[in-house]
Amino acid sequence: MKKKSSLTKIKLPDSLQGILWSKNIENINLESDKVYIIHQILAYGDIKEVKWLFEVYPKNDIKNIFTDYPVKIYTRPVYFFVKDFILNIKKDTNENNYVKNISGSIR
């Protein structure tokens, strides 16, 4: 795991403000807000932002956050893409803890 001191020296790119919309990018702490940052980028980021995520946090930390702290913000296709391809998680995770319900009627 990267040292806390190395995380404090990293500045979040301004381009992440749209993904980390519920907080001011200037006030986000890479260590204490890591669950929020990881899930938001995995759920809403593009390949450039996911690449940045893996440059900042070790893959094992990202996998542990994803499995140990589920957040119900993913669409079903994004959940499976993240779980199966980006993180290569083989163990069962409860889809209901990650996939948000889509409101409205389905035809």
Domain boundaries of the chain, sorted by first residue: 14-97
Predicted TM-score (pTM) of the model is 0.86
Tokens 């807000």 sit on residue? 33
Q: According to the model, what pLDDT value does residue 101 have?
A: 80
With H, G, I as helix, E, B as strand and everything else as coil, classify residue 99. strand
pLDDT tens digits, 14-47 = 889 999 999 988 899 999 999 999 999 999 999 9
| Pairs from 11-20 (Cβ < 8 Å, separation ≥ 24) | 13/52, 15/49, 16/41, 16/49, 16/52, 19/44, 19/45, 19/49
